[in-house]
Homo-oligomer: A and B are copies of this chain.
């Protein structure tokens, strides 16, 4: 199982707009083959931080996701909502 933690530093006044657009990505991604979970999380101590935490069956499923129409259309369009560059970590359980 592969976990992706994509931490974003938001323009806090545009989080609501971001959530609307990100929701389309979440709904489409959850329907994908090999998607175990895919959700957005808000940091309880830092209102700037919103993080997507994803679980994929394997790397092939994650690669398919990144090649999907909805990923290629929506993910680049989310950049306007970020205050600065985020951090993306791709993990395998030890």
Counted per complex, copies of this chain come to 2
Most chain B beta-carbon contacts within 10 A, residue among A3, A19, A91: A91
Chain B residues with CB under 8 Å of A44's CB are 2, 90-92
Tell me which of B46, B49, B91 contacts A41 (CB under 8 A): B91
Tell me which of B3, B45, B50 contacts A90 (CB under 8 A): B45
Q: Kindly state the separation between the CA atoms of A94 and B93 in the bound complex, as whole angstroms.
A: 24
Which A residues between 25 and 47 are near B, CB-CB below 8 angstroms? 39-46
Closest chain B residue to A44, Cβ basis:
B90
Which A residues between 41 and 74 are near B, CB-CB below 8 angstroms? 41-46, 49-51, 53
Q: Kindly state the separation between the CA atoms of A7 and B43 in the bound complex, as whole angstroms.
A: 14
